[in-house]
Amino acid sequence: MINMQVRGETGDIVVNGSSRLDWMDTLQHVDADRYPFLGSLLPFADTMFNSRQTVKLRQEVADQSVRELLGHDATAEIERLCLQVEGESHLYLWFLGD
């Protein structure tokens, strides 16, 4: 499972996401060529996106096929966390693999 967090530049946790992404059921089926940001997530590693990257990530999760794959709750939370990162300074969106 992959958890989500918004963190400050010093690593302090600003927000813990409530949705968890299941690698086997969802993310391994993402076309990494078509969705490079989602496709870069790994089940056993951490991935961090800055505010410029979250703009592109939001574009990827806006695609209907991604919304169907990940589910409404997960895509809504990704969008919400991305907007938080974009709306404040020195924040990053983290995806934390097991």
Q: Domain range for residue 57?
A: 2-97
| Residue-wise pLDDT tens digits, 14-66 | 999 998 888 888 888 999 999 999 999 988 999 999 999 999 999 999 999 99
Beta carbons within 10 angstroms of residue 4's beta carbon: 21
pTM of the model: 0.94
What is the arithmetic mean of pLDDT over 78-98?
96
Number of domains in the chain: 1
CA 32-15-55 angle, to 5 degrees, is 40
Which residue is it, tokens 């990530």? 57
